[in-house]
A and B are shown apart, each in its own frame.
Chain A
């Protein structure tokens, strides 16, 4: 009851007293004023159907009302992992139409069905390494949904990534924050790994750490070598660094991937588990470790 009262008071305070909260995006994700009607887009003060005074039983269902495959209320189609602005060119937008979203997709990516995703539907609260031990699933503080990582009311960055995830303070920055917002080009800093580290903490180490008895690839370190490789089939694979740093997102999609994992040697690993990797098989390794 106290929680409900607190949330009610917060919503009322926002409706009555807040005069222009700083936010990265306009529309329903910010630019709230004392006269805004935007609150009612998602909330009800007294007749909500869910907690946080939401008109939604599922946060994911609410988000895909705009950001789903039909993209009826947004250009960022997270189901297909694609930016849809308007066919014919880049006029009027800083993101090319058809650009792949850096987060990947929850249903498709690159026109193909996904092979692994974070489950954003609010039914799972387990994360690898959440118990500070690599390779072990442990519970996080809440069931995972879109609002676990994104703040629908806006945040200092235009991807509206929260400043606190799983109870951990997170600070991220994008080099193109401001007028230009390009959802299809890497504009992260090394801090981007903090988003993942909030739940997968033991994987975020800048050295080949053995704290938990296992080694892990270093992240948040600079890399000066080539990140593009042409393999024996003539296919080019490449990954993107974040301002020169290797971050979690250099190799992994936060949302979902359609990468195929047919390249495992027999018995060498969990065949078929694409583990949110950006490239087929072990392309993310080959991009830098060019063998």
Chain B
């Protein structure tokens, strides 16, 4: 038996079926074109050069506390904190351990550490720290009674020995030439200055004579003025140093004595261990009057205006230490014994308490003797949390 295969002829497509198929092809082509167009728009959106639309600005009258972000460890009894002008570096002073000044990046990665030249751990006590607009780092030292100045990497530049004398000035007067940074140093315990003579040879000078002072708190305002507190016994005061002194090309004719106000005591216009001074947009100088447990407010000419923040209630201070003011004149004050940060509105004629954040403890967002605070331009706050051995980072 043989099998015969017969091929089936194609169906005879009628005209209606042909139209339906053409229509389907056209719809498919249209959808493909639409998909390509959407992909084109998506690619164009991703590559557009224009910035993303601005977020709606927060109304000025809205005030809300910041939130806790993270903590930076690897510090021993941190006391003072400052941020570089670019906001990319955090500088911290230590009260315990080796008593170093440590540099961290914005995310808390340790970068480097430094300390005053020719000092051992027991011969230095770095306390408050600040940066000027050039990025130079200033550190007050309670044992050395001096302000040490470094570049942004911690390389030693100079020492402010007294209100009217820098170490470079002292060396220049003896050598008749301006010394280069790194070529001179001073050991206050050995009472000798090492430097180079005009020919580059080694030279040892006797201790300089200097005026009585005890620098403690240091800040720079937006006009490059230095605001300094002085806790010389029985003569507690605040100095406001003009920018032309600080920003002078050299410090060979140094003088911090332009404006000085205050005295020791508990009355009006008096301080007991002023720890910090900042100024607001109205030019008022606000001082944390530590052992008097209050803020002391002065006008731009150094005349006493009023006290604020003492007494009882939410905004009352126990032991105010470091402070920082933001672009909206919100003053952030570290209350070391209150174990929190208190925030006041200084934008009007009368300051007002806004809120406080933090509480005592060892967990995240809790403090164990905080001492200082620094702000950056992105809304971050850095707080030294002394007995928890960390720097807490908060953000608005």
Contacts and interface: CB of A to CB of B under 8 A. Distances in A.
A27 B272 contact: yes
B84 interface: no
Interface in A65-98: 65-66, 68-75, 77, 79-80, 82, 84-89, 91-93, 97
Query: By DSSP majority rule, is chain A's interface helix, strand, loop, or mixed?
Result: loop
B371 A72 contact: yes
Contacts of A70: 79, 95, 125, 127, 142, 371
A92 B291 contact: no
Contacts of A49: 339, 360
Given A42-B318, A55-B318, A72-B79, A87 B189 contact: no
Given A55-B337, A70-B125, A112-B122, A41 B233 contact: no
B275 interface: yes
Contact of B319 (A41, A85, A92, A113): A41
B29 interface: no
A28 interface: yes
Contact of A86 (B127, B232, B319): B232
B321 A72 contact: yes
B291 A66 contact: yes
A87 B275 CA distance: 18
A37 interface: yes
B213 A86 contact: yes
A92 B337 contact: no
Given A37-B310, A88-B212, A92-B233, A61 B387 contact: yes
A72 B127 contact: yes
A87 B88 CA distance: 35
A97 B339 CA distance: 31
Q: Which of B125, B231, B336 has the most CB of A within 10 A?
A: B125
A247 B120 CA distance: 33
Interface in A217-238: none
B318 A72 contact: no
Given A73-B290, A87-B210, A41 B337 contact: yes
Contacts of A37: 293-294, 310-312, 316
A82 B141 CA distance: 14
Given A28-B291, A42-B318, A80 B125 contact: yes
Nearest to A95: B233
Contact of A65 (B232, B319, B360): B319
Contacts of B272: 27
A99 to B, nearest CB: 12
A72 B122 contact: no
A113 B99 CA distance: 13
Given A65-B369, A72-B273, A92-B235, A40 B212 contact: no
A285 interface: no
Contacts of A56: 337
Nearest to A31: B266
A251 interface: no
Contacts of B122: 80, 107-108, 110-113
Contact of A111 (B123, B235, B266, B312): B123
B196 interface: no
A41 B318 CA distance: 4
B263 to A, nearest CB: 11
A173 interface: no
Given A40-B316, A111-B123, A113-B121, A87 B339 contact: no
Interface in B290-324: 290-291, 293-294, 310-312, 316, 318-319, 321
Contacts of A75: 233
Given A37-B310, A72-B290, A84 B142 contact: yes
A62 interface: yes
B234 interface: yes
A65 B337 contact: yes
A40 B318 CA distance: 6
B337 A85 contact: no
A85 B212 CA distance: 9
Nearest to B216: A72
B74 to A, nearest CB: 19
Contacts of A61: 368-369, 387
A206 B382 CA distance: 57
Interface string B333-345: 0001111000000
Contacts of A89: 212
Contact of A92 (B79, B212, B316, B387): B212
B23 interface: no
B232 A85 contact: yes
A70 B99 CA distance: 10
Interface string B192-210: 0000000000000000001
Contact of B145 (A73, A86, A92): A86
A87 B233 contact: no
Nearest to A62: B337
Given A37-B310, A42-B337, A72-B321, A85 B214 contact: yes
A129 B168 CA distance: 57
A186 interface: no
A14 interface: no
B111 interface: no
B166 to A, nearest CB: 14
Contacts of A97: 145
A38 interface: yes
Interface string B98-140: 0100000000000000000000111101010000000000000
Given A70-B125, A88-B212, A93-B233, A40 B142 contact: no
8 contacts: A27-B291, A37-B294, A40-B316, A68-B95, A71-B127, A72-B290, A77-B143, A88-B213
Q: What are the 8 A-B residue pairs with the smallest beta carbon separation, nearest first?
A: A87-B145, A86-B232, A88-B212, A108-B122, A85-B233, A86-B214, A92-B234, A111-B122
Interface of A: 26-28, 37-38, 40-42, 49, 55-58, 61-62, 65-66, 68-75, 77, 79-80, 82, 84-89, 91-93, 97, 107-108, 110-113
